Structure formats: structure tokens, C-alpha cells
Amino acid sequence: METKDASRSKFKEGGESAGTTGASAFNSNSLPTVPNGDPMSGYAPSNNSVNSTDNAQVETHKSNADANETLNLKRRVQELEKQLRAEQLSKWNRTNSITAPTLQRTGTLLPGHINFNYSFTDDEPLPLSNRPFPFMLSMRREGGSKLLYNLLARDGKRDGHLFTSSLMLSELDPSRSNMLKEKARISLGDFYIPCPGDSTLNTEELKRKIALNHFGLTFVTPQVDLRDPIAGYFSLIPPAWVCKKLLDIFFKELYVLIPIIDEQDFRAALSRILGPQLEENYINTFPNVDSADDLAILVMHLIILRISYLSLLDLHGNSRSLLVRYPVTFDAFRAADTIMKEFDFSCSQSLTVLQAGIIIRTYAIVAPEAQLTGRVAQVKQGTITELCYALSLNRDPSCFPEQSPKMQNLRRKIWHYVARMDISSSVIYGTVLSTDAHTYDCQLPRFSVESANCYDLNIEQQIIESFRRSYDVFQIGRKLAEYHLLASETFPIEQVIKVLDNLETSLTDTCGNVKPLLSKQVENISSVTTMLVYVQMKLFMAYTYYCIHLYYESQSNQHLSSKYFLKTTSILLQDLGDLNMFVFQPNSSLNLQTTGRLTEFYLHLSLMIFTGIRLRLKCYMRIKFPARETTERDLEHEILYQLEENLKLYTHEQAIKLGYLASKFRYSLMLRGIHMITIKLCDQFQYLCDANTGQAIKDAAIKLPLDVLQKFGQKLDIYKLPKTNELFDFSDEGLIAEMNRQNFWDQFNVIENEETVTSAWIEKTKKFNRFADEMRLGFNYNLGFDLPTHELNLFSS
């Protein structure tokens, strides 16, 4: 047995011979490392095993080792930081990506740098909501809109319904309300729809009344069980000859917009599943479903028939086609939605199921009953994109040489359609991009006879040209969307302006002069794709220009602030002004089907910006001319007064346009609801002033030069809208129209909720609560139209 001294000697020799410090040898061969200050005396060596001299030597070696190790760690961290920064710069400078951001957020916005998710004045993050409407961040940033936001936050009723009630009807006293209901019941007859609380009608009677008021929202007979859409499938679709004509309409007029299926394969699969025909009617009573893909084919069939049928109707329900006598009901969509619940999109699915999911997602854009919010768009788009990645659609089909030329071309079309849909969603709603430009090498589709996916080669060529012609525009739009999404870093504003310049040039080269297309009915379906690209990119440019205008205003740069203000108003008035009339023409069914939703977005953005400008004008005039009614008006006052009056007329007319759309689209009713209250608050300016501080009014006052406002006024005068009606029409006829429109959608909501088809009863409650949550603006509570009179009476004298 060794002595204690010998043991210590071997320990020291072993540590030195290994080429290590005493501390390293000590830690590796003896005691565990103990954090500083940890009272673990039981692990400390006793005086019997190590003497004081040895302890001193060990501690010296340990101190030197710690210092060396700390120094090495610091050097390694610096090397890793440089490597990470180089990788980030490499990533940001790749093709199809935005220029490298220059600075991380430090709490202070440097001159010349910008972040669209933060305030330009105090660099505080802008309050977020669930994005119920497009371009919502403008309301958080622009001075006039912030006054509205402050008032709504103060007077909003906790259990109110901002987007589901009528401001005009909420202010009626009970006696007149009852009188109007009785008068409406007599004057409208079968077209009269009672409000849900007063209704004594059963569900089938309500469905009949809804169908009378909206030809696009009809229902099947009660004998059809929507819980089993396959058993009642042939009751959900028109006769075979009508289905054939509707399919022909789709592949002739609408396929260019949704080119994600192969016509020959789709028709062949349908013929097999639906079975033979006798005298142009189906013989079978039950589809021949052999696989899950057959269910997906039936989903696509139902949605295609529904979209084709809706394309026959104009805004007023009129049509030149006799096919409208055989409606494809709203229940056809509900049946398709029920079938799609059989597919778990959180798991990998076949290409056919993915196609069905894309068509369902596309239907949400054109459907009159749709309520597509930003958050819903984010989830739906993300799910579809992940399935595309799971099926390797991001890779070029040349990676899979065993596939036929038709399938290769179809895969390319599907991927680029989804990528464009992703960019469009981000452009409008501000959703985070689900596709990554660096993760796909899928080439654009090509035209050849053997790879064509539809019978009409002219249409096939139009589709290929559309993908190739608009590719650069979408890629530049993607760069601009990435700037809007970037939250963690700031970047030079010159980079954004450069992208805008490139987008404007590319849009001009790609689309040319679109104004003639917006002034007549659609004749060539290929022109529709051009219009859609042009309108959505112009809307995004207008929104971005307005943000840049506000940025330069915060920097007291009057010249550049004025420049981008005029750019914004030129787009809204000159470039897109024809949208005020385009879908409202008689017998313009295809116009409505293709651009109706973008018309909603245009009216919404225009109203947000112009109402904000009008409020800012009123703030400035209140400060500059506090007693204008008793003083002589000078030239400045005359110019500003006339501009404010023209803005009032313009915004009132646009809100009336939204009212027309609300008779067709449920989403328009919600848009109209928020703008009715903001316009009325602008009209009742004193009430708005009382809800804000004097400093807030001063900060909101417009800061543009008089000559710039004069130029804007001249352009507004050129593109002014003819007066058609009173926005706040309190005549009996006006209130009855308002009441019936509101009751129509309220009762439709009741039917939709009561007849939710699901495998779990709780889904009904989830559906209702999910919608209520979508409609929040970002306050701690919902805001309501039905505010008590003593809190918010906007119609008092």
C-alpha cells in the first residue's frame, strides 16, 4: 500500500507528464468541478491528503488555466459571430431576396433607416391585431386614423359587435324601429327578412327568403342529408347536361385563373366516378368511389361547378345564361368542405388531395359568403405550402424523370400557382411568406403539345405566357413584401424605394396600359390575369408609398413627404379609379367574379387613406382657423375647405359602393361597417376632438405644403365620383334597405352556424368563437356599433 506522500508525488508527475496544467489534471483525475460559492465541503480535500504547498501550486495552475480558457472562448465567440454575420449577408444578398439589413434593432431608429412594423416617430412597435382587414397597420400609424383609434378604444362597448351590426339601425328608437319593420314586411312581401330576434320562421322558410334575395346563395331541399354528402351527391349537382356546360365554362373562361388540374385526366376520372348517362341525366344514385383520391375529385367537381355558376351572375343577380335556372347551391360548397374534413392536412397527402385543397382555398377568394381574414389566410396558405414541400413540388420535375411531360408541366404550374398565391396573400394581408425563394428550383411551365394540360391549346399557351410574363413582377413584389415583414432589423429606406422603382418599371413592361381593360366588360380572359396582377401590385405600391410619405413626414422632409403623398393619391385616383365603376356595370358577371374581391380591397384602402387625410385637414383647419365662421376666408382657407368637402363627397360615395357590394358579399358588409363609423366620426369632428387631447390634434394636423394639397385637390376634382345617394339615408326607404341587408346576412349566419356539419358537436361553438376572435381589432375588447346613446350618439345634431 502506497504512502500518502508517494501518492501525491505520482499525482503531480502524472499531471506534468501529460502536458496539462495542474488544474486540468486535478479536474480530470480527482474531484468534480464545483460552482463558485457552492458550499460542498464534503468534496474538499482534507489536510491529511494534500498539504498547503501542494494546494497553492494547484490553485496557481488552475488560475492560469481559467484565464487561458476564458481567452480562447472569447476568441472562438468572435470567430463564430463573424462567420454567422457572413452567412447572413450571403443569404440576404442572394437573388430574389431583399438587400442585407444593416442594423439590429437598438431602440432608436437611425436617420435613413426604416422598419414598417414600428412607429416612425417614437420607434415603438405598432399594436397588432388578427388582421381582420387588409393594410390594418395604416390605422396604427397615420395621424388621422390614430384619432379614430383613440376614440374607439375609449367608447368601445365590451360586448359590442363592430362588424356585425348596423350603425344606422342601432341609433333608432324602439317605436320607429317597430314601425319600419311593419312597413318593410308590407312593402317587401316575400323578400322581407326579419332580424334573428324577431323571426318566427323555420329554417327552410328562411332559406327560401335568402334565395329570393341572393341568387348565389340557394340551398338544397331538406331531404338531402349534408352529413353524408356522398349518399346525396347527385342531389347536390344539376343534371348531367348542365354539369357538362358548367365544366366547359370553367375550362374556357376560368381555367386560366386556376390552372392546377389536367383537363383530360379530370374529365376521365369524373366520367368513371359519376357513371353513365341516359338522356343527359345520371343513372347512378351513388358515386363510384374507389379511393381517397376519388373523394378529392368530387370535391373539385363541386367547387368547379359552384364557381362556374357564380360567374354567370352580376352584382344584381342578373344573367344572360339560361343555366342559372339550375343553381349550384351553397350546400354544394358545404358538402365539399365536409368531404375535405376526411383528409388530415397535418399529414402527407396525395397530389390530388392537394389540388382539392388549393381549389377550396381559391374559392374562399371569390365566394360571396367568404370571410377570409389575414389570420385565416396565413393558416390556409401555410398548410398548402407545407404539403407542396412534402410532395417535392419545390424541386424541378426533371429530378423525377419517370414522370410524363404532362405531369411534369402540371407540377410546375401547381408550384408556381401556390407561390404566386403566397405572395398575393402577403401583399394584401401582410401574411408571413410560406414559400422560401431559396428552397425551390422548379422551373416555369413550358408550352408544348405533348405537355399541354387542357384541350384548347390557345388557352394552354395563354396560361404559360401568364406565368412567364408575370414572374418578374411577383418576384419584385416578394422583395417588397419581405421588407414589410422584417421586424427584427432596420434597413435603409433607399433600398425600399429602389424596389418600388423596379416594381413600377416591371409592372409597366408586363401589363402595359390597363385602364382600357378597366372601363369595359371582360372580353378576353387572358386580360383578366393582367388586371389581377396590376391591381394587387398597385394597391401594395400605394400602401407602401403612403408609409414612406409618413416616414419622411416624421423626419420633417417636406419635399420627399410631398412626393410620395402625390404618388399614393395618383395610384388611388388615376391608376385604379376605374374600379369605382368596373364591377358595378350591368351584365358584368365575369368582371364581378374575377375582380370583385380586389374592388373591396381598393375601396377599403382608399377609404382608410382619404378619411385619414380628411381628418388631418380638419385638425389643421381647427388650429389655423379657430373661428372660421366669423372671419373672412383667405385663399388658403378656401382651398382647404373645398378639398375637405370634395374628400367628404368622395369617401361617402365609396362607402355607398361598399353598400352595393354588401348585397352580394358578406365581407363587404364588414368593411362597410368599419368605414361607416369612421366617416361619421369624421363628419362629427367635434365629438372626435373631445375624445382626444389637444396635443394629439396638433400632432395629427396635416403638414403638407399648400401647393401640394392644391394639386391633390385638382386631381380629386378630375376623378370625382357622381353623387348617387345619401350614405346616411334616414328616410323610411333607406332604413328599410339597410335593415333588410343587415337581416339577410345575420340570418345567413344563423343558418350556417345551426347547420354546421361536423363529427363533433363542439365544432359549432368553436366555429362561432373563432370568427368572433378573428374580428378583433386588437383592443382588450370588441368594439360595437350598438353603442348606448349616452356614450356615442353620432347622429345627434
pLDDT digits (tens, 9 = 90+) for 758-785: 554 445 444 544 444 454 444 333 333 3
Residue 435 domain-assigned (yes or no) = yes
Same domain, 354 and 382: no
What confidence tier does 422 reach under pLDDT thresholds 50, 70, 90?
Answer: very high
DSSP codes, 289-335: --SHHHHHHHHHHHHHHHHHHHTT--TTS--S-GGGGS---HHHHHH
Q: Which helix (H) or strand (E) holds 490?
A: strand 489-492
For residue 17, pLDDT over 90 is answered with no
Give the H/E segment covering residue 113.
strand 113-114
- DSSP of 699-729: HHS----HHHHHHHHHHHHHTPPPP-S-SS-
pLDDT tens readout for residues 180-201 = 999 999 999 999 999 887 877 8
Residue 581 has pLDDT above 80, yes or no: yes
Domain final residue pick, 408, 442, 469: 469
Q: How far apart are CA 749 and CA 767, in angstroms?
A: 11
Range of the domain at 592: 137-142+515-774
Mean pLDDT (whole number) for 726-739: 91
pLDDT given at position 362: 94
Query: Does the pLDDT of residue 540 top 70, yes or no?
Result: yes
Minimum mean pLDDT range among 63-72, 160-169, 701-710, 767-776: 767-776
Residues 346 and 377 in one domain: no
35 has a pLDDT exceeding 80: no
pLDDT value, residue 372: 83
Total domains, the chain: 3
Which of 160, 168, 164 lies closest to 738 in space, CA to CA? 168
Of the residues 434, 469, 504, the one at which a domain ends: 469
Verify that 398 and 286 share a domain, yes or no. Answer: no
93-102, 254-263, 436-445, 469-478: which range is least confident on average? 93-102
Strands 281-282 and 489-492: unpaired
Asked if residues 285 and 296 have their Cβ atoms less than 8 Å apart, the reply is: no
4 falls within a domain:
no
Whether residue 592 lies inside any domain: the answer is: yes
Q: Quick one: 633 and 765 in the same domain?
A: yes
Give whichever of 96-100, 486-490, 657-661, 770-774 has the largest mean pLDDT.
Answer: 657-661
- Residues 521 and 666 grouped into a single domain: yes
Indicate if 572 and 718 belong to the same structural domain: yes
Give the pLDDT band (50/70/90) at residue 93: very low
Contact 654, 608 (CB under 8 A): no
Pick the more confident residue, 23 or 559.
559
The answer to whether the CB of 113 falls within 8 A of the CB of 406 is no
Residue 443 lies in a domain: yes
Distance CA 145, CA 162 (A): 16
Q: Find out whether 785 and 677 touch, Cβ atoms under 8 Å.
A: yes
Backbone phi and psi for residue 47, each to the nearest 5 degrees, phi listed first: -65, -20
Confidence of residue 131 (pLDDT cuts 50, 70, 90): low
Same domain, 521 and 460: no
Stretch 38-59: mean pLDDT: 42
* Per-residue pLDDT tens over the stretch 240-265: 999 999 999 999 999 999 999 999 99
Residue 491: beta bridge partners?
114
Between 722 and 573, the higher pLDDT residue: 573
Say which DSSP state 152 is in. Answer: H
Give pLDDT tens digits for 73-91. 767 766 666 566 555 544 4
Residue 503, C-beta contacts closer than 8 angstroms, at least 6 positions apart: 473, 476, 477, 480, 537, 541
**pLDDT confidence tier of residue 786, bands split at 50, 70 and 90:** very low
Same domain (yes/no): 428, 354: no
Average pLDDT, the chain: 82
pLDDT above 50: residue 788: no
Paired strand residues for 646: none
* Residues 346 and 430 occupy one common structural domain: no
Please check whether residue 155 lies inside any domain of the structure.
Answer: no
Residue 356 lies in a domain: yes
Least confident of 54-68, 235-249, 492-506: 54-68
Whether 634 and 762 map to the same domain: the answer is yes
Tell me which residue has cell 378529392. 296
Do residue 387 and residue 525 come from a single domain?
Answer: no
Inside any domain, residue 367: no
pLDDT > 70 in the chain, percent: 79
CA-nearest of 477, 456, 463, 529 to 260 is: 463
Same domain, 542 and 408: no
Residue 197 resides in a domain = no
